[in-house]
Amino acid sequence: MKVILLERLDGRGAIGDVVNVKDGFARNYLLPRHKALRANSANLLIFEGQRAEIEARNLKAREAASASGTKLDGTTYVMIRQAGEGGHLYGSVSGRDVADVVSAAGSQVDRAMVVLDKPIKTIGMHPVKIKLHAEVAVTVTINIARSEDEAARQAKGEDVISAQFAEDAALNAEAAADMLEGGAGKLGDDRDFA
């Protein structure tokens, strides 16, 4: 189906472009959300009559998104989640979770604005892209940890999973040395058991 774009869409075109899209995409997304009009002669005339108003509205929305984006860009948010020993989460962190934690901090972010290729399934520091407008995107960092202490250590740059494995290895080596010193594996006297 051919449509006239009323706002810029990544990979599709800019305002006023007539593009060919799949019917379902047009009927289920573009047309109900007023992001496009069907491309016919009547709608082309309507669009040309309102083009200046549409572009002014888009410019105003982009400026508002840029203003809120400057406050949001580069911020870090902490999420406490349960995870196993290897750092894998019990469950995952989705776009909705990211939108909730950013909105709770005072910014207006909808889950549709959060760009995640796949859910986050491990603890650590994860950069997440948020599209505030078709032309304005910012990056926030989500610090996923098992506790506040662990989140603070991760914020300082420490890899808590590697540190935990190194600590466990040191404890195991110390336990093995204690067992050898304490007589494990040694005979109590000099008798020959033959």
Instruction: For residue range 80-92, list pLDDT tens digits in order.
Output: 999 988 889 999 9
pTM for this predicted structure: 0.72
Bridge-based pairing of strands 120-122 and 88-93 is antiparallel
User: What topology is assigned to 2-64 in CATH?
Assistant: Ribosomal Protein L9; domain 1 (3.40.5)
Q: Dihedral of CA 88/92/95/97: which sign?
A: negative
Query: Does position 144 have pLDDT exceeding 70, yes or no?
Result: yes
**pLDDT at residue 188, rounded to an integer:** 52
Q: Which 8-state DSSP code applies to residue 14?
A: -
Q: Is it the case that residue 186 has pLDDT exceeding 70?
A: no
Per-domain residue ranges for the chain? 2-64, 76-161
Check residue 189 and give its pLDDT: 53
What single-letter amino acid sits at 50?
Q
Listed residue (87, 102, 93, 76) closest to 146, CA to CA: 87
Instruction: Determine the pLDDT at residue 139.
Output: 94
d(CA 120, CA 111) in angstroms, rounded, equals: 15
Which segments of the chain are extended strands (E)?
Answer: 2-5, 18-20, 36-38, 76-80, 88-93, 114-115, 120-122, 124-133, 136-145
| CATH fold of 76-161 | Ribosomal Protein L9; domain 2 (3.10.430)
Question: Residue written as tokens 């540190």?
Answer: 163
pLDDT tens across 34-90, in order? Answer: 889 999 999 999 888 888 998 898 899 899 989 988 989 989 999 999 998 888 999
Average pLDDT over residues 108-131: 92
> Which residue carries 């740059």 as its tokens?
157
